[in-house]
Chains A and B, each alone.
Chain A
Amino acid sequence: MIKMNRRKLVTASAVIAVAALTVTTVPAQAYNPRSNEPGLTATTIKLGITLPMTGIASPGYNKIPGAMKAYFDYVNANGGVNGRKISLVVKDDQYIPATAVARANELILRDRVFALVGTLGTASTKALTSSTQLSRRGIPSLFVNTGWSGFADKKAYPTTFSILPSYQMEAKIMAQFIKDKYAGKKIALLYQDDDFGRDALAGFKTAGLTFDTLIPYASGSQALPATGAGWISKLRTAAPDVTVVFGVSSATTALLGNAFAAGWVGKTQFILGSVGGDATTIAATNRGLVGLLNGAKGLSFAPAPSDSSDEYIKLFQTIYAAAQPTQTFDNNVVAGMSNAFLAVQAIKAAGKNLTRKGLINAIETKGSTFANPFLTPLGYSTTSHVGATGYWFGTYGPTGALTPDGGKYTVYTTDSGTGPVVESTYKRPAMPAKGLPN
């Protein structure tokens, strides 16, 4: 231990006293929710996103920020939103909830962003929302990239807005599709055993669909070679006519890879949830597996990325080709640009005297009428924070592209409760001129 004589004691005490006095003279910087809005000037708005840019879940998703920036830059080059230009701070959380919390803290405390936008993953978004106390601080969390139905609950998450339909909606719509097309068949479900997958289980249960085989997997375990081999072993024994996959795309990759390795190909009809059917992610691991998607069923709520006849897709393709000429235009790009598009619409609706509270209020009161590329209505209201509210079904081709069954988008809509699944009559309004807010 440190030894001290009287002289050193006096010196040390004096130093500590001076240090303490110096510290007390520094003006207090305690958080004050009534102070000026962070991340906002008369000409700029700073937004922040955290998502997996590296790690197992990153392929595909890591294109989202580039796509968002491409659209924001397009808007900025055309005058911005209500005279303000948007910047986006991007953080990498590797799909690890604890890391997402740390990155969100950096965005809020160091970068002092005005709002979060498009944070990705149920577990990560739940963790960062709770830990950084977004609702208590009044920080908007716009259009989170997760369909966990809890985020649509305004009471629990007053500042968070979903963009995807809820997983419960998706499961209900899938259940109806399976009942219609595959009645009496043996059905298996592979799902991620966390809030993401369990939300879908709740939806399947509400819809009255029961599975002959249930295969849960822990998030992250899909990276282990034995995990995928175990799935195939169980599926081979169960021999289901239809296999529903409600997991991330890296799980689909593991499933297809192990099915191929075990020679278990063409033995079941795959139906992939919207999250797990991303050909880019599968190709990033093994391009040869993309062909195994051929014939699988999938669902989406946005226009197909290859559909150049859609005015939004056409605009997005043009913008993205100029901004990221070496990158492929896929559904991750559509997701990112749609997210940015909706964020711009929300900021525009909040008016020139932009505040965090005003932004939340604008989405709640006008959100259901925002221009957007989706083929389903938006569900934003003063009581619900859910985004899109339906899906169309399609079939994967040999290149991994999902095209709508019957050559046209037949959209089904429902709610996260016990409401029925019905065919939507929604007609999407025309895109604003040049896809710009002003």
Chain B
Amino acid sequence: MRTEHLSGFDFGATDLDAGIFFETAASRLAAGGRAVAYFAIPEDGAFRLVMAVAFDRDGRLEVYSSALAGPFRSLTPSFPQLHLFEREIYEVSGLKPLGHPWLKPIRFNTPGAVPGVAEFFTVHGSQVHEVAVGPVHAGVIEPGHFRFQCHGEHVFHLEIMLGYQHRGVEKKFIGAPDARSIHYAETLAGDTTIGHTWAYCGAVEALAGVNVSARAQTLRGVMLELERLANHTGDLGALAGDVAYLPTSSFCGRLRGDFLNMTALICGNRFGRNMLKPGGVNFDLDYALIKELKLRLDNTYRDVESAVSLLWETSSVTDRFEGTGVLAKEAAEGLGIVGPAARASGVGLDTRRNFSCGPYERFTMAVSGSGDVYSRAYVRWVEIQRSAELIGGWLDALPEGPVEAECGEFKPDSAAVSLVEGWRGQICHFAVTGPDGKFRHYKIVDPSFHNWQALAMTLRNGEISDFPLCNKSFNLSYCGRDL
């Protein structure tokens, strides 16, 4: 296993002239690049635009930046994957992307903004009507506002308006790290504690030039895959519940908890809080704990297998899953969709493969082609199998060595991009340090930031009753997107 740290890079070297910046961005995106981050940093009374572009097949990242004081050229008309990034830049900096087709607030955090009060896409015509839902929903779930433009049950368009969970986390990283930073990372999205905290630790370690031991990396892998197992299992159960197939729904509800309890067995918390820290992990496994974990993993996995296999063998389930909420591969690529949702539409993107590091060498990803609810559910099931295999293998051959390393000062005027494949998809943390060696800026891109638009697309020409099913097949994060 490679344990050399990914190093931070000289941020000044990314600087381009504004004209060249937009030309480069456009040509690199046209060449198959995928924007993993695009944001504005305050600089000398104006701003600096920064874009990180990934070439997944080559496992390559490129970063460009340019100083900017006024309106700029929107690239969204040619590259829809940038639509929310540009809206965010506009909301944060006031710099207007000229030519953006649907420029409106995304977090309603500017003076005078009222959440949910903005222009909505509307459809007019005889008997066309609008269904509005939220921000307080019927279930125990985070807040958001959804508007369907319908004709009877038929949905023409769904527009999703979020921002209710905005609690101002990103800016609290500026001038850090401090004692609270790790807790911000752990609570960016509560069900993705390990994913986000690993991304945070990766950024810190790159900037501090610290190598994480093979044992600590493997333990992080165990935690990340347990997180994936818990969420995928829970979501397959919820999907079964949404098509009224109660056996799998009941079984998986309990089994999700069994995975969470395994996480708690390792670190004391069901969501993996207090496990990771820059330089390594807080808790090690001894022989007795490894034995106990293996036993529980085997039993729980066999129960999940029995619960989930019922889905594929029950015609009332497959009938509802197949052909519902199709996201075409072109749409998924065009919108920069990530995670199991992208893989279920045939996009070969998995950070564990494309940007393989730590314990994930020689990882093979699960890709399926049909892009419907069935495909998203099935990809999750294949990933459950893969995660269980990975954990089993790691527990059998845990590398010896320490589980923590000292993290020193950050390199000044540097930057680091940290990518982790969370259970929803690729998480990106982009950290920039100032001359004082503290965070000058910290940008977080949760997979949900990209993927909410995919959910909206799957509802087009569907039915309102497909919404819960499509929604669960993605199960996106509100707080991770709103930050």
Do chains A and B stick together as partners? no
Interfacial residues, chain B to chain A (CB-CB below 8 A)? none
